[in-house]
A and B are shown apart, each in its own frame.
Chain A
Amino acid sequence: MPFLILACSAPEKEPEPVAPVAEGLFNPPANFPAPAYALAGNPVTADGFELGKALFNEPMLSRDNSIACAECHNQSYAFTHHGHDVSHGVDNRVGTRNAQPIQNMAWQKEFFWDGGVGDLDLFSVAPIENPLEMDENLGNVLTKLRSSSKYPALFKKAYGSTEITSQKFLKALSQFMISLISANSRYDKFIRKEGGILTADEQEGLNLFKQKCSSCHAGDLFTDQSYRNNGLNIQGSKDEGRFRITENPSDRYKFKVPSLRNVEMTAPYMHDGRFYTLEEVLRHYTTGVQQSQNVDPLVKNGIALSEDEQAKIVAFLKTLTDREFLTNPKFAGN
């Protein structure tokens, strides 16, 4: 019993004092809350970031050296797998879930559609070891990196020693990922009064969004990071979502509320990529909600929106596209 109590009460982290970081690599935006990631334990350095970026683009992370993280997390599409409903792995194996964007990771408390991992530093192990994704084991990745001509020198630059450990490997990937901050969309510049202008339709869309969507897609991260069943038809893989982690029947078919930043670029939508357009997503919430087990009370009866209102919300959502983020050469693989 004491274990259970500890486990339930431990993770509430105090906001960490932000450690000195390399100029321009980790700058929390003014309109964001305090980061969840323990920055003091892994301050971003220029060389750590570069190592993380190299690893992110490194096919040796996969069993047959064929795919890198960047394969399913492409910068131009907010680090998602453009045009793929679910991610593809080695040997053309097909996964079960839609690759989520890698952005604003320092503000995420839990990872994956089901929240199975609670620490960004342990996040990368999952796609590396997933048989449908990179199908490699982490120890073997480290062995390959140690015998490469490239990596001992990059680890030395980042950490002062050529030694390659799981801790250094995982934390370098975290340094790169937490630096992928998207907060310079037209919406952000509007909210921060930095000269961003929304059209009348977009403003109306924003107002409608606040009334109808922001209970779940809350705050400037556009997610409350909760797990909910949004009333999708149970189909395909019959993925049980959060239940897979908690094994609590009240979590069956619940998935994490995703952020909507850069949502224009992250199609297709939902945990299994079933909707190809934002219009289809809005139609789902107005007329498509199914009465499945644990359907969320907030969407149970559908969200009342006219076609005109739906269009305005879509117009607003497109103001969350952050071109600087999508094209920043600093984030691009070599």
Chain B
Amino acid sequence: MKKLFLFASIAAVFSACSTESLEPIGATDKNNITLEFENRVAAQSLVLNDTKYTNTSGEDFTITTLNYFISNVAFKKTNGTVVKMPDQYFLVRQADKTSLMPVIKDVPAADYTEMTFTIGVDSVKSISAVDQRTGVLDVASYGTDNMYWSWNSGYIFFKMEGISSVAPTNAAGLKKYQYHVGGFGGRTAATANNLRSVTLSLPAVAAVRKSKSPTIHLIADISKVFSGVSPLKIANGAVVMSPAAAGPIANNYAKVFTVDHIH
């Protein structure tokens, strides 16, 4: 594995420096781009359940659940044109390793320097017919870790839960904090819109070729959920599920992502 990583790193450096030497781009050539989401808490790895972290307000917290939807990924070419990859929806769940590396299928061969994605499920998909709701959008697919509000029809874009000594004790006797962020702007009445778009420039060119499918390795610093734009205290609201109240959380988590490297 280590050897493979070393090899991949060298390849990445190599490709970044000399895309000219890659195979030529055929007009209809396509390949995949893998997004690797590595969720961290500041300078620590994110370990569910066991590890206690501290936010910028000095509050302790653990993370028992971390899920978020990624959609509407787009890549910008070196010449400035943007290639949109619609209708590919991903649910990143920290508890499910396979979900941490979503694969964007059929990206046109080109050199890319910037990426954009939406955290959440866009409004068009959020009001789409049940036939359109397959895979991670299937409302039957979540089991007890629900990501769909049935009574106020819409997806939970971002869900983070854990234990904090500053949270009030809930009915189950746990000092639990719960952030469930949804709200796509409303179907027939304007409601809170917590869709957030993230644009990140790539530290090196991501070159897609007929025989080359790069991986973009992203780091999500989850500590910034409490501090990305403005500081949030668990003590001031341990359970946030109302879309109207969740805007500050969404503003913060829109700032958690950086691209670490391409391989």
Residue B141 is within 8 A (CB to CB) of chain A in the complex: yes
From known contacts A130-B151, A166-B138, A166-B139, infer whether A3 and B184 are also in contact, taking CB-CB under 8 Å: yes
B150, A246: Cβ atoms under 8 Å? no
Residue B50 is within 8 A (CB to CB) of chain A in the complex: no
Write out the residue numbers on chain B whose beta carbons fall within 8 Å of the beta carbon of A119. Answer: 127, 129-130, 153
Write out the residue numbers on chain A whose beta carbons fall within 8 Å of the beta carbon of B144. Answer: 137
A118, B188: Cβ atoms under 8 Å? yes
A125, B189: Cβ atoms under 8 Å? no
Of B122, B130, B152, B184, the contact of A245 (CB 8 Å cutoff): B152
B140, A138: Cβ atoms under 8 Å? yes
How distant is the Cα of A112 from the Cα of B152 in the complex, in angstroms?
Answer: 10
Residue A147 is within 8 A (CB to CB) of chain B in the complex: no
Closest to A138 in B: B140
Interface of B is mostly: loop
Of B150, B189, B190, the contact of A122 (CB 8 Å cutoff): B150
Residue B146 is within 8 A (CB to CB) of chain A in the complex: yes
A115, B123: Cβ atoms under 8 Å? no
Q: Which of A7-15, A77-85, A151-159, A317-325 contacts B (4 or more CB under 8 A)?
A: A7-15
A122, B130: Cβ atoms under 8 Å? yes
From known contacts A8-B186, A139-B140, A170-B130, infer whether A247 and B243 are also in contact, taking CB-CB under 8 Å: yes
Closest to B120 in A: A3
Write out the residue numbers on chain A whose beta carbons fall within 8 Å of the beta carbon of B185. Answer: 3-4, 6-8
How distant is the Cα of A246 from the Cα of B193 in the complex, in angstroms?
Answer: 11
Give the interface size bracket for B toward A: 35 or more
A122, B123: Cβ atoms under 8 Å? no
How distant is the Cα of A155 from the Cα of B63 in the complex, in angstroms?
Answer: 41
A139, B129: Cβ atoms under 8 Å? no
Residue B169 is within 8 A (CB to CB) of chain A in the complex: no
Quick one: which of A3, A109, A244, A251 has the most chain B CB within 10 A? A3
Residue B187 is within 8 A (CB to CB) of chain A in the complex: yes
B130, A4: Cβ atoms under 8 Å? no
- B96-136, CB < 8 A from A: 122-124, 126-127, 129-131, 133-134
Report the number of A-B residue pairs with Cβ-Cβ less than 8 Å.
121
A246, B142: Cβ atoms under 8 Å? no
Rounded to whole Å, the gap between the CB of A248 and the closest CB of chain B is: 7
How distant is the Cα of A248 from the Cα of B122 in the complex, in angstroms?
Answer: 21
Write out the residue numbers on chain B whose beta carbons fall within 8 Å of the beta carbon of A8. Answer: 185-186, 188-190
Residue B242 is within 8 A (CB to CB) of chain A in the complex: yes
Residue B86 is within 8 A (CB to CB) of chain A in the complex: no
Of A3, A122, A140, the contact of B122 (CB 8 Å cutoff): A3
A6-B185, A118-B153 known; 4 new pairs, CB 8 Å cut-off, are A6-B123, A117-B153, A125-B150, A247-B191
- Enumerate chain B interface residues (CB-CB to A < 8 A): 122-124, 126-127, 129-131, 133-134, 138-144, 146, 148, 150-153, 184-193, 195, 242-244
- Enumerate chain A interface residues (CB-CB to B < 8 A): 3-4, 6-8, 10-11, 38, 41, 109-110, 112, 115-119, 121-122, 125-126, 128-130, 137-142, 165-167, 169-171, 244-248, 251
Please provide the 5 A-B residue pairs with the shortest distance between their CB atoms, ordered closest to farther: A166-B140, A247-B244, A7-B123, A125-B150, A138-B140
Q: List 24 A-B contacts (CB under 8 A).
A: A3-B123, A3-B184, A4-B185, A6-B185, A7-B185, A7-B186, A8-B188, A10-B124, A11-B127, A110-B187, A117-B152, A121-B129, A121-B130, A125-B148, A125-B150, A126-B150, A129-B146, A137-B146, A139-B140, A142-B140, A166-B141, A167-B130, A245-B152, A247-B243
